[in-house]
Copies of this chain bind each other. A is one copy, B any other.
């Protein structure tokens, strides 16, 4: 017997489908598919395949089905439209889009190049990175699930900023690489097979809309951070190579220790021993963020590598981690 029903809008997209898969295996919830707009074709399914119940998305459906949580795996404009309705209907909302991640509508407009249509919700939305603020998440009604790039970036960068080990004048470089699923399932030339395969390209330098989430959560200035987003010809996975300089760090061990202390009780952050580095393979289909370091004390050059599965810790897995907090389940339920 499942304790709660939870709804998913946008269940045919890559993040949404991943989320439905995770929720189906979660022992205490039952996912309900909320059909909103059929922007993607359904996949053919085997005869008799167990599919979650599907109902039309509406405030009434939320009430009738007694949905405790509604996940919005939708574009930002759809999330801005649906979030108020779902909240009014009594559900808590976990939004996987960028709609509610920033603190004010001006910042949103600057980075998303469009007006925010539900600015009144920005102040009550809680940024859902559990490693940074799980208590507030547990109390929230509207959770802004973090972007995939910022999840890997903030878990690696924030401890560096907070501990003051970075030589600030030299800045921080975050060279980020992502699999193609991060761009969603909607067909576009840039994500069609023939354009991506056998290729590697930088598609956003300095101005990626995920940048303000890093500035906000890691407390780093825009002028300090050089962030580049690049496309790897793989389906899923993010690896970020972060460069900085430090005169205060004494050794690679000291750098690794900084992360050890910070994350010793975190179930989803794993550290690599000195001399090794994480890769995308190691986090495939997991909710882990893997971190490894390299430091050259003679010159002060430092590198931190951070890897996640963009569809799990970078989207659906973290969303379910947030649901576990909201519904008072063990935080790791269904995720280990």
Query: For the complex, what is the distance from the CA of A44 to the CA of B305, rounded to whole Å?
Result: 14
A243-B172 Cα distance, complex, nearest whole Å: 10
Q: Is the CB of A303 within 8 A of B241?
A: no
In-complex Cβ contact of A235 among B188, B193, B271 (8 A): B193
Residue of B nearest to A228 (CB): B241
Determine whether the beta carbon of B301 is less than 8 Å from that of A223: yes
> Which residues of chain B are near A44, meaning CB under 8 Å?
272-273, 276-277, 282
B271 touches A46 (CB 8 A): yes
Which chain B residues border A228 with CB–CB below 8 Å? Answer: 241, 243, 303
- Number of this chain's copies in the assembly equals 4
Query: Are the C-beta atoms of A185 and B194 separated by less than 8 Å?
Result: yes
Contact between A43 and B191 (Cβ–Cβ < 8 Å)?
A: no
Enumerate A280-299 residues with CB–CB distance to B below 8 Å: 280-282, 284-285, 288, 290, 294, 296, 298-299
The CA-CA distance from A233 to B305 in the complex, in Å, is 18
Residues of B near A200 (CB, < 8 A) are 177, 232, 234, 237, 239, 279-280
- Sorted from nearest, which 7 A-B pairs have the closest CB atoms? A46-B270, A201-B279, A44-B276, A223-B299, A175-B175, A170-B170, A187-B187
9 contacts between A and B (CB under 8 A): A44-B276, A169-B169, A180-B194, A187-B188, A187-B192, A191-B192, A198-B237, A199-B237, A232-B233
